[in-house]
Amino acid sequence: MTAAVISQPAQPHQPAAAGGGLMRRLNVGTAVAGGVILGLIGWLVAHSLLQDDDHGSDQVVLVTLTCWAVGFMIGIGAFNGPIGWALGRDLRREDELFLAGKDQGISRYFRFTTDHKVVGIQYLVVTMVLFALGGTLAMLIRTNLISPHSHFLNPQTYNAIVGLHGLIMIVATIIMVTGPFGNFIMPIMIGARDMAFPRLNALSLWLIVAAIPTLLSAAVLGGIPTGWVGYAPLADQAPPGMDSYSVFIIIFAVSSAVAGANITTTVLTMRARGMSWNRTPIFVYGTVASVGLAIPAFPMFMASQILLQVDRTQGGQFFVASGGGSPWLYANLFWLMGHPEVYVILIPALAALMELTPVFSRKPLFSFNAAVISIAGIVGLSVMVWAHHMYASGWAPDLNGPFMLTTEMISVPTGLLFLVILGTVWRGRVWTTVPMMATYAMLWNFIIGGVTGIYLSDVPADYALHGSMFVTAHFHYTLMGAGLTGAIGALAYWFPKMTGRMMNERAGYISFWLVQIGFNVTFMGMFAVGLAGQPRRVVTYAHLFATGNLVSTIGAYTIGIGMLVLLYAVISSWRHGDRAPANPWGGKTLEWTVPNPIPLENFEVMPVVTSDFYGYGEEPSTGADGEDAREPVHAGAPAGPAAAVVAAAPVEGEL
């Protein structure tokens, strides 16, 4: 039987609809407009309905800031995907390519873009902005402390600036490695084409961008008089600027949870074929450990702020002793986050240095297994030490001894990481570059921060030093001297891959020495005045401490100049630097096997890993003609095979 054929009239060619839809019209400008409009609406409604309530001013601020954040996220397009899915409108291939920023040029950096490389650059810029804000506030603090009674700032303004400086810098250091490099570098390093959840990746970034104005609004709402820790019951009695603090922390905690789940899932499920855990680069371990520690820790801080808002806006008494509450409840919730947070900052920075040190030492990482075990030990012990911050508070004095023991125990895996890096450098063919100099500086700073931390872990010594400038100096030697130094080393190391250009080496060296000399001058001065008895967070002080504070302020100005030189190096190199080859350092990990600029999906052919990435010093591989098969490296690099352990092979089903 012959099938009937029904002829159809010829249809004119219909070009495919451009992808993106409504997202084409949304960017950071529409986000700000959406936030302002919805925030204004929220303020008008809340002001008319809630102003007469006993807690009306706090309720109005809470509603306004929440509406700002929601409006901002609507304006950037964060909810378009879920709403479209709920309405049965799945994304087409063209929509996905638009969301990934394909062929959009620089405009993709101002949109809700899902490409992990774009998100990494966005995180880098946001981190630099936060450091600029926090650093400027630090200069104001040190200017006020240049003499015992300078009166440069009044006490209320000084307290507000101290609180804002602390919180901004803590958030900046939390995201300074896992944000830019955990997003840009890590997926390529494990052989993936993107993150597991690209839209959640973009969501985590834009939540932070939405949260920053909420925190800065505290400056016009009475400030944050409690310091960055936000201790209750002082927080219950603080002006509406404390509501800005709470909203910021809640949004940031959501962002951290989203980012942590995404990074963890990506590493667990998307590593290249052949990349067993023994072949996974150490930076990946550090990144996963950091976010894995943040996932349970940051909700503690978030919970404290939710309870604080119940106190402030509904008359709750969670932290008010006269109403049956307990200030120690806040202290425990805060420090259950506050001490693991130190290692959330420190672990990825040290892991980045452990990643680059073998490259510039031309040696395998000294005891890879010891490094992994040390990271695991730090993660496990870091959740068991929080109460050493409360020795002097009077809470559970019978527990001071056990917490002193766990605090001193954590120095063992931390010190082992120090030895891993030192062993890698020992007797290596070291190529001294800016990234490698960051390793040297970290070793110096970290040993000072670690040794002074042992004093503070001891209960009798802590009673004498608690609340002094000695604690401030120790804290900065750990987070800035080791953490920020590691992040700067990571920036110099991966800058050629992220931007396609080499960083200005001379400016990098000048910045390095200015920052490191200024840093040590600043905080050695603080150690001196702290040991002499100067308390922290004071607007005036006795003449006994004048010389030490003058020295610290001079050192702080030197740090500021050095960071400005670094900013110049980054911007000028990004715009006009020498074009970087694909593998300027002769590294072996997968990010150095992709070309510059990196393709949208990273790999045209998916890689297969055949051994680990730390085989420096082995015999170089040879090509078919018997010639050395090393990739060309940047001038001055020691000889060594580049990515010799990676074989490219097609994967079934891949294009």
pLDDT(653) > 50:
no
> What whole-number distance in Å separates Cα of residue 263 and Cα of residue 282?
15
Backbone angles phi, psi at 614, to 5 degrees: -120, 30
- Note the pLDDT of residue 625: 37
- pLDDT for 82-122, tens place per residue? 888 888 888 888 989 999 999 899 999 999 999 999 999 99
Give the integer Cα–Cα distance in Å for 328 and 509.
Answer: 47
| Range 431-454 average pLDDT | 95
Q: Are 73 and 31 in contact (CB under 8 A)?
A: yes
Distance, in Å, from the CA atom of 510 to the CA atom of 508, rounded to the nearest integer, reads 6
State which H helix or E strand residue 360 sits in: helix 327-361
* Residue 228: strand, helix, or coil: coil
Query: In this model, does residue 360 exceed pLDDT 90?
Result: yes
Confidence of residue 17 (pLDDT cuts 50, 70, 90): low
| pTM, two decimal places | 0.92
Contact 382, 340 (CB under 8 A): yes
3-state SS assignment for residue 608 = strand
**Would you place residue 197 in the very low, low, confident or very high pLDDT band (cuts 50, 70, 90)?**
very high
Least confident span in 189-193, 597-601, 631-635: 631-635
Q: Average the pLDDT over 470-497 and give the result.
A: 96
* pLDDT per residue as tens digits for the range 132-152: 999 999 999 999 999 999 989
Is the pLDDT confidence value at 643 over 50? no
Percent of the chain with pLDDT strictly greater than 90: 83
Rounded CA-CA distance 163/640 in Å is 49
Question: How far, in Å, CA of 399 to CA of 148, rounded?
Answer: 39
What is the distance between the alpha carbons of residues 539 and 283, in angstroms, rounded to a whole number? Answer: 41
Per-residue confidence (pLDDT) for residue 644, from 0 to 100: 39
Q: What is the pLDDT of residues 45-75, one digit of tens each?
A: 999 988 767 788 999 999 999 999 999 999 9
DSSP 363: S
Look up residue 431 and give its two tokens.
């190529």
Strand, coil or helix: 622:
strand
What secondary structure does DSSP assign to 416-476, as a single string?
HHHHHHHHHHTT------HHHHHHHHHHHHHHHHHHHHHHHHSHHHHHHHTTBHHHHHHHH
- Is the confidence at residue 207, as pLDDT, over 90? yes
How much is the average pLDDT of 426-436?
94
Could you tell me the pLDDT band of residue 570, with boundaries at 50, 70 and 90? very high
Task: Please confirm whether the linkage preceding 597 is cis (ω < 30° from 0).
Answer: yes
Left (φ > 0), alpha (ψ -120 to 50) or beta: where does 275 sit?
A: beta
Asked if residues 183 and 593 have their Cβ atoms less than 8 Å apart, the reply is: no
Give the DSSP H/E element, type plus range, for residue 625: none
Cα separation of 389 and 368, whole Å? Answer: 32
Instruction: Provide the mean pLDDT of the chain.
Output: 90
Higher pLDDT, 510 or 639: 510
Spatial distance between the Cα atoms of 434 and 490, rounded to a whole number of angstroms: 10
C-beta atoms surrounding 90 within 10 Å: 9
Contact 518, 556 (CB under 8 A): yes
CB atoms within 10 A of CB 304: 26
The answer to whether 229 and 337 have CB atoms below 8 angstroms apart is no
Question: Tens digits of per-residue pLDDT, 377-404?
Answer: 999 999 999 999 999 988 999 999 999 9
Q: Which residues contact 224 (CB under 8 A, 6 or more apart)?
A: 159, 160, 163, 164, 167, 218, 230, 238, 241, 242, 244, 245
CA–CA gap between residue 524 and residue 522 (Å, rounded): 6
Mean pLDDT of 180-202: 96
DSSP assigned state of 609: E
The pLDDT of residue 221: 93
Judging by beta carbons within 10 Å of its beta carbon (0-12, 13-18, 19+), is residue 152 exposed, middle or buried?
A: middle
> CA-CA distance, 236 to 496, in Å (whole number)?
48
Rounded to the nearest 10°, the torsion over CA 132, 134, 140, 143 is: -90
pLDDT tens digits for range 306-319: 999 999 999 999 99
Residue 52: the pLDDT is: 67
Return all residues near 213 (Cβ < 8 A) that are at least 6 apart: 35, 68
Specify the 3-state DSSP secondary structure of 385.
coil
Alpha carbons within 13 angstroms on the beta-carbon side of residue 575 total 5
Residue 276's Cβ-count burial label (10 Å; 0-12, 13-18, 19+) is exposed
Q: How far is CA 363 from the centre of its chain?
A: 28
Is the pLDDT higher at 627 or at 242? 242
One-letter amino acid identity for 441? Answer: A
Q: Which domains does the chain have, with CATH numbers?
A: 21-96 (no CATH), 113-576 (1.20.210.10)
Quick one: average pLDDT of 190-204? Answer: 96
Joined together, the tokens standing for residue 34 give: 């959406």
In terms of Cα–Cα distance, which of 126, 127, 103, 133 is closest to 115? 103
Exposed, middle or buried, 442 (CB in 10 Å: 0-12/13-18/19+)? Answer: buried
